Structure 1
Amino acid sequence: MSSYQTVRAGAKQVVKLLEKFPEEPFKYLVSFKTTQLERFSRIAGLPISQKDSSELSNKASIDTIKDVVNRTSGPLGLQKDMLKKMQAAIPHDQFSETSMKEQVNALSNLVGNKYKTYYDVGDKLYKPAGNPEYYQRIIDDIQGKKKENILDGLRTVFMGR
């Protein structure tokens, strides 16, 4: 198998792992999952899914930026030295077989929670004796399961529970 085919197969593995990657609980301007799906789908030669393309439709893609920078000698009135700096800053996806294997390995470790299970901490840290429900309340609040009203919040601050 040639190097190009190996990199392409690795990119397909990365795309499959990224599809298993959980959604981010907070919506930001740029999503890790969405940007990496776009990047590795392009390398693997796969189409970008409709959901991902709708999120990216109102943002300029890397390909669009590359096209604008490479198409003209001085886009948008930029000086030559600024144009050279922009061209140097544009990422070039040139993966080798080893770097693609490292990408697949790192992402599979993240998806599989390898380090959470490898460095498992006991209940002593998750449920401290002074306030055993502390972390569970924070997680519930982040996930929107249980909201505290102002009186419960004040009681927690003053009483410690």
Structure 2
Amino acid sequence: MSSPQTVRDSAKKLVNLLEKYPKDRIPHLVSFKDVQISRFRRVAGLPNLDDAGNSVKEKKPSLDEIKSIINRTSGPLGLNKEMLAKIQNKVLNEKFTEESINEQVRALSTITTNKFRNYYNVGDKLHKPAGNPSYYQRLIDTIEGKKTETMFTAMRTVLFGK
């Protein structure tokens, strides 16, 4: 059984590693990095920070508060008792152990160091296929917003494959 202090220390290591994780190339409504940092800051006992680095108090209800609301009310939002029982049974209670957090630390560190990308290195034969050598570079340029295809170039690509 892991002590709460060792779980907090492991969560602090995970938060430090998550802060080094690169920012998403494509902006999303919710970022993996931000969600995981706020999740494990709670476990580590660290305050949540905003973009400027100031401490922010959470406005979202905790899991216990949600369970309490479900238990106290007979039918919020028009839900019947059977549906409430199903929801209550499905709500997870996160219990972290030192081992589970250390597994996540190892997984995240292998992702950030590109261990498997370097281990299973593919050559130019796959990155630049003979039939369409600029295909992957064109996809990356489109994702990064460097080049955009016009309707004519898109049709040319579909018809002729180049």
TM-score, normalising length from structure 2?
0.81
Residue 25 of structure 2 contacts residue 144 of structure 2 at CA under 8 Å; is this kept in 1? yes
Alpha-carbon deviations, 1:60-93, whole Å to 9, x = none?
A: 7461x54133145226254333333323322322
Residue 69 of structure 1 contacts residue 83 of structure 1 at CA under 8 Å; is this kept in 2? no
- Show the counterpart of 1:152: 153
- Show the counterpart of 2:37: 37
Aligned mates of 1:30, 1:87 — CA distance in 2:
25
Q: Residue 23 of structure 1: CA displacement? A: 2.4
- Show the counterpart of 1:142: 143
Summarize the Cα distance change of 1:89–1:31 in structure 2 as closer, same or farther, 3 Å threshold: farther
Aligned mates of 1:124, 1:52 — CA distance in 2:
45
**Per residue, is there more helix in 1 or in 2?**
1
Count, aligned residues: 156
Question: What RMSD in Å do the two structures reach over aligned CA positions?
Answer: 2.8
- Show the counterpart of 1:26: 26
Alpha-carbon deviations, 1:100-155, whole Å to 9, x = none?
A: 21111111111212111121111110011111111000000011011122222222
Aligned mates of 2:122, 2:90 — CA distance in 1:
41
Aligned mates of 1:25, 1:78 — CA distance in 2:
40
Summarize the Cα distance change of 1:104–1:26 in structure 2 as closer, same or farther, 3 Å threshold: same
Range that drifts further, 112-121 or 37-46: 112-121
- Show the counterpart of 1:49: 49
Q: Percent identity?
A: 47
Aligned mates of 2:136, 2:127 — CA distance in 1:
7
Residue 10 of structure 2 contacts residue 101 of structure 2 at CA under 8 Å; is this kept in 1? yes
- Aligned to 1:30, the other structure's residue is in SS state coil
Runs of 5+ unmatched residues, structure 1: none
Aligned mates of 1:122, 1:52 — CA distance in 2:
42
